[in-house]
Structure 1
């Protein structure tokens, strides 16, 4: 194996360490072993619901610890379809909501609404839940929510701002799950895919108070110039008074995060290497993030083999019709500036859920020969990037990071390896 091949393999091992550290089953197990679920009062039963990309794994583990009788329902993305003994698992579209998600949200609301004061609800929340259970407020339609979601994904807004807007239009987001479960008590175990771990933003906060108000949503949408492009029903809803009941109190517990995965990557760096977590909040536009990564390598003036580790969730402004995602575009942008780095560098950027944008790739794995391979494949990198077609560009160099669905999600991780 060549030195370059060894470094590329190391980058992939570090990515796997990040994913393994976000194992949702292990996180649920550790929490419920130290905090056993309370016994039910006479006549009561447990309702266990799981929403997000880690739903099956979290639900499977939780059912080993929750006393019966139990009714369990999970909603995850189509690519993560799997059976869980004792539970119904529904699949839905992500990142764009679909009819299956619309139907799943109705099933979820019906189940929660059946809870009484003697029942207990355990909610297992992970990233991706926002799109998986769209549940539009009346009189909005699924098509309305899909249009809003598309505009938000193309806007360049960060995930917190997007989820603040989504909360105003949903029956389940921004504490909506608590409303539908009342009067039953609700405990939520949350796996964070949001940098900073604001529980109100993870899966759009179904078990916590909302991030903002309808007026704040209008201001954000107006600022990015898309309010007028919204469906008329959405504009009318945002301009009307929110008369929903106050959000009941819930018990929320964070059981996993991006920072834990970064620590695991650092621990997995082999002996003889220097390992540094440079930034655990890599956010903003991918062009700025790529520049930050390059500058970090230049400023640190590393001596000997070094692994520079980053984590966060960047954004992409969609200006073309190509396919890609924030991790693929970030990797491509680093490759385009890689001539500033020492010869022999390798860079990986990947989503811990195994999916980056509407593609089958988790991200990109590039090195100092990536541009040469693209040229040999007659790929016009600049034109592809201008069309947001990072997937095609990376595929030309055989530099796509493809892992399949991982069953977890704690945002994105990056590593720059310097020889």
Structure 2
């Protein structure tokens, strides 16, 4: 079977690139900038997109400003007036700890005439790992490692993080009082809840230490007693709604997963393929989501239900991987591997899934792509797709096939992008069962 580049991998990659481009800070930050303050403008922030957001601010702000933002290693960009610090993600390091301390120092002693512009994007939780008194960086590293492997949702993970932090859960905005705080958010979380984007350093939080303890028990996390005691005694309570220190804090969402999916949908329409956005906030185990989307694609290719072909099924959000094997995890590759197994080589169906920040799990790989011949090529190389899925080794599987999708640092982050393309090209034999 000869593939038509306009209706398979090439089209999917153009759609993925369009989703990333739609969330670029140079496009979405300038319209959301606040008016000039009577006093100073101090720029702070954290996340994978924060450095590029800072550059966009500098390019469109003609008044004086100073600032400090922290981003992931490899994501720094040149800025003249805003200091860019790099730190580790997803497991925090000392560079992030020091940057968080310095950020709090920067916002001390402000007046009501000053404005703090806070640039927040996904990844900020790990990049601002300043713990409460009595908790160490090593504790935070252990907590993050356990959370990442637990299968907890991003909301659950960030609830725990907020209640063990000296800067998240509204504490950063409280430290800026009485200055005005304007937070620009690039959302990487299902539902775009500001509390969950970088664990909400400038946002009031109604959740409690008791909620965090429930999550720790639910997933069987083994945390040190002195960490649990912080929660039991309520010492980790976040800044609650109605706190007067946050009366002048406002949030502006400048890029979301839905915006990215809509940009991808336009690319599909231009190619004569009808897009269907199934949801921008899909959660759950990645492999289970893969099975469901595969079933929908099979129904479309076989019966033109519920969608006529050619069509593309688009979704975003943040699935989870409960790592039980020896593989490297990665929710997008796990989704695709489960999807490929469920499709069993059915002709006419192609897929791509990737994280819009260019990093799937802890790998410098955005995701991967599948085609009707994915399983057949794997078996020819002696690979066992089912075993790879059982071992949570989607990255190893797709790297061996040469089907990884690598973007490098995208300088933005609006979570995962998933697309299954159903074409009219339904000739050829399925790969069969093995």
Q: Same fold (TM over 0.5)?
A: yes
Aligned counterparts of 2:314 and 2:238: Cα–Cα separation in 1 = 44
Aligned counterparts of 1:241 and 1:55: Cα–Cα separation in 2 = 31
Q: Does 1:22 align with 2:17?
A: no
Q: Is the 8 A contact 2:334 2:389 kept in 1?
A: yes
Q: Is the 8 A contact 1:74 1:88 kept in 2?
A: yes
Aligned counterparts of 1:50 and 1:167: Cα–Cα separation in 2 = 16
Aligned counterparts of 1:362 and 1:65: Cα–Cα separation in 2 = 30
Q: Note the alpha carbon deviations across 1:113-135, whole angstroms, 9 max, x for none.
A: 24333321011111111111111
Aligned counterparts of 2:366 and 2:406: Cα–Cα separation in 1 = 5
Q: Which residue of 2 aligns with 1:363?
A: 367
Cα distance, 1:109 vs. partner?
1.3
Equivalent residue in structure 1 for 2:400, among 396, 403, 418: 396
Q: Is the 8 A contact 2:119 2:183 kept in 1?
A: yes
Q: Does 1:201 align with 2:196?
A: yes
Equivalent residue in structure 1 for 2:44, among 31, 49, 56: 49
Listed as ranges, the gaps of 5+ residues in structure 1 are none
Q: What SS does the corresponding residue of 1:373 show, helix, strand or coil? A: helix
Q: Does 1:330 align with 2:327?
A: no
Aligned counterparts of 2:109 and 2:396: Cα–Cα separation in 1 = 48
Q: Which residue of 2 aligns with 1:351?
A: 355
Aligned counterparts of 1:290 and 1:201: Cα–Cα separation in 2 = 24
Cα distance, 1:304 vs. partner?
3.5
Q: Which residue of 2 aligns with 1:233?
A: 226
Q: What SS does the corresponding residue of 1:309 show, helix, strand or coil? A: strand
Aligned counterparts of 2:52 and 2:85: Cα–Cα separation in 1 = 13
Q: Is the 8 A contact 2:162 2:238 kept in 1?
A: no
Q: Note the alpha carbon deviations across 1:229-253, whole angstroms, 9 max, x for none.
A: 1022211111113377765221111
Q: What SS does the corresponding residue of 2:45 show, helix, strand or coil? A: strand
Equivalent residue in structure 1 for 2:184, among 186, 189, 192: 189
Q: Which residue of 2 aligns with 1:39?
A: 37
Q: Which residue of 2 aligns with 1:316?
A: 321
Listed as ranges, the gaps of 5+ residues in structure 2 are 424-434
Q: Is the 8 A contact 1:45 1:68 kept in 2?
A: no
Q: Which residue of 1 aligns with 2:432?
A: none
Cα distance, 1:23 vs. partner?
1.2
Task: Pick which of 369-378 and 236-245 moved more.
Answer: 236-245
Aligned counterparts of 1:244 and 1:314: Cα–Cα separation in 2 = 26
Q: Note the alpha carbon deviations across 1:314-344, whole angstroms, 9 max, x for none.
A: 00001022113000111111111122x7403
Q: Note the alpha carbon deviations across 1:124-167, whole angstroms, 9 max, x for none.
A: 11111111111111110000011111111111111111111100
Q: Which residue of 2 aligns with 1:268?
A: 267
Equivalent residue in structure 2 for 1:374, among 378, 383, 407: 378
Q: What SS does the corresponding residue of 1:100 show, helix, strand or coil? A: helix
Q: Is the 8 A contact 1:164 1:211 kept in 2?
A: no
Q: What SS does the corresponding residue of 1:204 show, helix, strand or coil? A: coil
Q: What SS does the corresponding residue of 2:95 show, helix, strand or coil? A: helix
Q: Is the 8 A contact 1:348 1:364 kept in 2?
A: yes
Distance 1:332 1:392, change over 3 A: same
Cα distance, 1:99 vs. partner?
1.4
Aligned counterparts of 1:65 and 1:17: Cα–Cα separation in 2 = 24
Task: Pick which of 273-282 and 314-323 moved more.
Answer: 273-282
Cα distance, 1:379 vs. partner?
2.1
Distance 1:114 1:65, change over 3 A: farther
Q: What SS does the corresponding residue of 1:89 show, helix, strand or coil? A: strand
Distance 1:4 1:240, change over 3 A: farther
Q: Is the 8 A contact 1:310 1:415 kept in 2?
A: yes
Task: Pick which of 47-56 and 65-74 moved more.
Answer: 65-74
Aligned counterparts of 1:97 and 1:352: Cα–Cα separation in 2 = 21
Q: Which residue of 1 aligns with 2:428?
A: none
Matched pairs, number: 410
Q: What SS does the corresponding residue of 2:284 show, helix, strand or coil? A: strand
Q: Is the 8 A contact 1:97 1:146 kept in 2?
A: yes
Q: Note the alpha carbon deviations across 1:281-304, whole angstroms, 9 max, x for none.
A: 321001220122012223443343
Q: Is the 8 A contact 1:76 1:89 kept in 2?
A: yes
Q: Which residue of 2 aligns with 1:253?
A: 252
Q: Is the 8 A contact 2:55 2:78 kept in 1?
A: no
